[in-house]
Structure 1
Amino acid sequence: MRTAYNVETVRAAERELMARLPEGALMQRAAAGLAAACADLLGRVYGRRVVLLVGSGDNGGDALYAGARLARRGAGVTAVLLSPDRAHSAGLAALRRAGGRAVGIDGRATPTPGPGRALGIDGRATPTPGPAAQATAGPAQATAGPAQATAGPAQVTAGPAAQATAGSAPATAGSAQATAGSAQATAGSAPATAGSAQATAGSAQATAGSAPATAGPAPETHAVERLIEQADLVLDGIVGIGGKGGLRPDAARLAEVADRSRAAVVAVDLPSGVDADTGEVRGAAVRADLTVTFGTHKPGLLVDPAREYAGSVRLVDIGLSAVLPAEAELEALQHADVRRLLPVPTGESDKYRRGVVGIAAGSARYPGAAVLAVHGALRGGAGAVRYVGPAADAVIARFPETLVSDRGPKHAGRVQAWVVGPGAGDDASAVGEVLASQVPVLIDADGLRLADRDAVRARAAPTLMTPHAGEAAALLGVAREEVEGARLASARELAARYDATVLLKGSTTLVVDAGGGAVRVNPTGTAWLATAGSGDVLSGLAGSLLASGLSAADAGSVGAYLHGLAGRFAADGAPVGAHDVAEAVPAAWRDVTDA
């Protein structure tokens, strides 16, 4: 099971772990894993151009230490410091040692030749302690050996693969004359070796402090943009997991340049500008091809809209699991977890012992909703399906094994769970009868609108509500965009208002248990599931699992998992209909049980 913890919990665990380790050991573990992930993405490190976008604090320190490791392997590494006076000093010193020193310990902006230059947001080099005579030009002094520290095993989670290819424009030896900021530079003025061309500040004429003040972006600012545009890899170390709100203007501009560049963009722990705890994106943010996160996932990496900004996610083990609490903030089931929950008949099973699910759905206007809900239920593991509603003829014609009743839910016969609402139109009576029953109930579609909140709250048996964002917004009295932008908070609020388990469908499907505990995030699915009737199939499938004896949270989580997997199998990269999804559920079930 993949788990995610909020910022407060992560910080507490980090403090506890750091107290047990030598000073700086935790950051070195993170930097080693980060550098290894960057090296994997680049393929060949020597001669590659790497730009670090460095903010203040430990996130920037991780980027600087990782940059030092890449520089020692021959990469041309340039650090762009958004807050030079607040940059991680030890990390900055390590970067400079890996690629050359600079002059100017008096605080004057002085360029440092070689791949370890550190630039401010204005494009000017920041001061470097140490004698100028020791400056080197390019990565000729770099050792190409492996990093000395190693991190634990890394896990790559599902997400869009990074499209940027490492080294799409390989550097050629001697392709430019590296200068130390002026044509008269002595130290470091030899012709650049492979990968050192990027060590210039964008122009051989650039000198520290030489540009006159003008309206609009300074020439040095354009130099920083050119560095990013010419890079093979951009490492986002602007803001850490404690950041709130969107990026500030200077950082936002650099993020935009990185997004349109050819470089692979790698986020350190979390894309800067997204909310680690909620997955919300309230302003400009970095769009990463790969996010390297440390110790544990953060909720924002699993929940949209932030998840979309993270790209693929690689988890680096830094030893945090030993000090994290048992209960996570979020959890995502994997095949093994789902396999343990799936109902399996025994030799003594019959159709009643396996569970009977009742379906109260459909109307004269929407008979197909009833057919699709029954279809999903028949694939969900229950021993029998009872149907109640005006679409009986359509249901029997398609699925003759269905038990049909025209006497309403109250007199339909024994069931272990009910599904009510898909395609129900304005028939509130069926919804009321179902809510009055003493068995678990799944409410979907029209049933959500027709269900009385007090009646739902008064139920003794479990209730599972399965709205999409629009339906959830209507129940909460807010705009749909508000739900989509704050999915985690919206699902929790809805569960609290109705005292029910909520499965919020969408690009990130969430399951919030009425009794509290970790929120489940569904990792399966495909955008092709956004098709009419897909939700009806899910309702029947999850309802069948309810009837089989699963709890509301487990039935919703397992149903969503199988539904998403079936959607992938059915679509296979092409448009798909809801009935195709239902037909693919057995294949998804076998895929889980055979894994």
Structure 2
Amino acid sequence: MIVLTAEEMREVEKIAIEKIGIPSICLMENAGKEVALEVKRKMIEKGLKSAVVISGRGNNGGDGYVVARNLYNWGIDVKVFVLGNISSISKDAKVNLDAIRNLGIYVAEINQKEHLKFLEKSLKDTDVIIDAIYGTGLKGEITGIAREVIELINQSEKFTVAVDVPSGLNADTGRIEGVAVRADVTITMHFLKPGLLVYPGLEYAGEVIIADIGIPSNLALDVRPSRYYILQQDVILKQRKPDSHKGDFGKVLIIAGSKNMAGAAFMAAKSAIVTGSGLVRLAVPSCIQPVLQGALPEAIVYGIEERNGILSREALVKLFEIAEDSDAVAIGPGLTHEGDIPEIVEEIVKNIKKPLVLDADALNALAGRLEVIKGRKLVITPHYGEMARLTGLKIDDIKNNLFEVARTFVKMYGVTLVLKGARTVIAGRDGRLYINSTGNVGMATGGSGDVLTGMIVSFLGQGFGEDDAAIHGVFYHGKAGDIAKEQKGEYGMTALDIISFIPESLRKGVEG
């Protein structure tokens, strides 16, 4: 699903107005009417009777005036508060403000602290608050009286509906600009906005509903969108041909494990097996080979040269040999980054020309020597902490600028990036950004990342390109986690539960 930034959305509206000929006031009317209809539905559902609309001076405020007019026409008690001077409102918003004043709807300014007392009382007495202050037009941190108004909205704890984007939320990043409205429902116009899909914006937006405001959806292509929200229809799996054999579904090699972390190797290999690989080979230190071979009868498990339970540089000859007969390779889970591991990882990245997945300790081993990955056909899967070590950025800076950090990294190194978090973002080699829609907090458990590594390398081995393998792996990993949550609950689920539900998640994604 296409996701548009605030600027892209403004450009689409401009095209609709100037090239298609849709009057801007019609777009405002459609937007306000759609919000009003949803507010009315919620009010009937919850038995609510009255509403307060708080509007800004721009087009988002104009949408709010249309909402108020429609609610009033339906017999709902509604008051309107304008943040700022009414005399400064112009164009379409002014037309709709004049209309509600002519109808006799109560309208009051909020431009000094003395006005806050009556607003506070009105919020206390009402059932629903409609936030139409800023929307996507916000620029910079919210301060002064606007901040106090938003704090009053949040303190009221009333059912709150945000028009387009909760005021104070950066529509492009999800960052909170000082303070933001905590909405129960956000009704966004025609296309999703990036900031509604990642934390903390996701938490502030509540339920997100897309309103059709009459813009031809294909106009989004004219602005060359680069952000997408991954839904089930985007990752449909093809039916397998009945005359296929295991060679058709890929041979993968996973290099993983150490004497204290055999579990990571197990989970990566097992998840690759149940994701549909034709053959999984697992290369581990020889000291843990027997236990893993017993636990993974479906895989070929190689015991490789080691030193003190950690792979040694002498293992490279055998690893290159096995990789030669593999379609894709993953390295990292449970390796540690001690001893010869940094050298092993670097040599594998330099010399193995098959598609690669680098995760966990492989990423830690490459910190400070990332030049080696430039332009390689590989997928890297850091969480925020690993990304901080790779880039030198602070974790908070990464969280607050997910899209820009991801895009900058991919532009610099030319690889596929899976930036793991509460909402995982995939940055493709072509600069496109994909936001995953699946997954839950129960997946924040040891081994979950190893499972994802196994799934991505499995899709690579099956012939998916790097970007598609990452997108499919992340989506179905999250979907398996969502099924596990339904069955086990968030507290008790483990990485093994995620693995156990991978087949069910894939079954639901097969076409037909």
Please confirm whether the aligned pair reaches a TM-score higher than 0.5, indicating the same fold.
yes
Closer, same or farther in 2 for the Cα pair 1:223/1:257, shift >3 Å? Answer: same
Partner of 2:313: none
CA-CA distance at 1:44 after TM superposition: 6.7
Match of 1:352, SS state, is helix
Partner of 2:315: none
2:31 matches 1:42: no
Aligned equivalent of 1:333, options 204, 216, 230: 230
Partner of 1:574: 490
| Superposed counterparts of 1:96-175, under 5 Å | 96-98=101-103, 100=104, 116-121=105-110
The answer to whether the Cα contact below 8 Å between 1:26 and 1:318 also exists between their aligned partners in 2 is yes
The answer to whether the Cα contact below 8 Å between 2:8 and 2:225 also exists between their aligned partners in 1 is no
CA-CA distance at 1:541 after TM superposition: 0.7
Match of 2:254, SS state, is strand
CA-CA distance at 1:325 after TM superposition: 1.4
Partner of 1:345: 240
The answer to whether the Cα contact below 8 Å between 1:45 and 1:75 also exists between their aligned partners in 2 is no
CA-CA distance at 1:367 after TM superposition: 1.3
2:361 matches 1:359: no
2:497 matches 1:497: no
Q: What is the aligned residue count?
A: 479
Point out the more displaced range, 31-40 or 407-416: 407-416
The letter for the 2-side match of 1:482 is: D
The answer to whether the Cα contact below 8 Å between 2:231 and 2:436 also exists between their aligned partners in 1 is no
Partner of 1:487: 402
Closer, same or farther in 2 for the Cα pair 1:429/1:347, shift >3 Å? Answer: farther
The Cα RMSD (Å) is 2.0
2:389 matches 1:478: no
| Superposed counterparts of 1:71-90, under 5 Å | 71-84=72-85, 85-87=87-89, 88-90=93-95
2:30 matches 1:29: yes
Point out the more displaced range, 435-444 or 318-327: 318-327
Deviation per residue, 1:420-452 (Å, 9 max, x gap): 111110222432343121110010011112134
The answer to whether the Cα contact below 8 Å between 1:59 and 1:268 also exists between their aligned partners in 2 is yes
The answer to whether the Cα contact below 8 Å between 2:84 and 2:111 also exists between their aligned partners in 1 is no
Partner of 2:155: 260
CA distance in 2, matches of 1:553, 1:62: 39
Deviation per residue, 1:280-308 (Å, 9 max, x gap): 22311111111111121112122222222
CA-CA distance at 1:46 after TM superposition: 9.8
CA distance in 2, matches of 1:45, 1:371: 50
CA-CA distance at 1:348 after TM superposition: 3.6
CA distance in 2, matches of 1:432, 1:44: 60
CA-CA distance at 1:252 after TM superposition: 1.9
CA distance in 2, matches of 1:369, 1:45: 48
Match of 2:426, SS state, is strand
Aligned equivalent of 2:500, options 583, 591, 594: 583
The answer to whether the Cα contact below 8 Å between 1:45 and 1:73 also exists between their aligned partners in 2 is no
User: Scaled by the length of structure 2, what TM-score is found?
Assistant: 0.89
CA-CA distance at 1:594 after TM superposition: 6.8
Aligned equivalent of 1:401, options 292, 298, 309: 298
Aligned equivalent of 2:429, options 510, 514, 536: 514
The letter for the 2-side match of 1:235 is: I
2:372 matches 1:455: yes
CA-CA distance at 1:47 after TM superposition: 7.6
CA-CA distance at 1:343 after TM superposition: 5.4
The answer to whether the Cα contact below 8 Å between 2:451 and 2:499 also exists between their aligned partners in 1 is yes
Match of 1:241, SS state, is helix
Closer, same or farther in 2 for the Cα pair 1:254/1:412, shift >3 Å? Answer: same
Partner of 2:510: 593
The letter for the 2-side match of 1:470 is: G
Partner of 1:417: 328
CA distance in 2, matches of 1:475, 1:315: 37
Partner of 2:444: 530
Closer, same or farther in 2 for the Cα pair 1:402/1:322, shift >3 Å? Answer: closer
Structure with the bigger percentage of helix: 2
The answer to whether the Cα contact below 8 Å between 1:6 and 1:277 also exists between their aligned partners in 2 is yes
The answer to whether the Cα contact below 8 Å between 1:502 and 1:512 also exists between their aligned partners in 2 is yes
Higher alpha-carbon Rg:
1
The letter for the 1-side match of 2:495 is: A
Aligned equivalent of 2:281, options 379, 383, 386: 386
Give 5+ residue unaligned stretches, structure 2. Answer: 305-317
Match of 2:275, SS state, is coil
Deviation per residue, 1:56-108 (Å, 9 max, x gap): 1110000011111001111111111111233332121222233x2xxxxxxxx
Give 5+ residue unaligned stretches, structure 1. Answer: 101-115, 124-216
Partner of 1:3: 2
Partner of 1:113: none
CA distance in 2, matches of 1:295, 1:541: 34
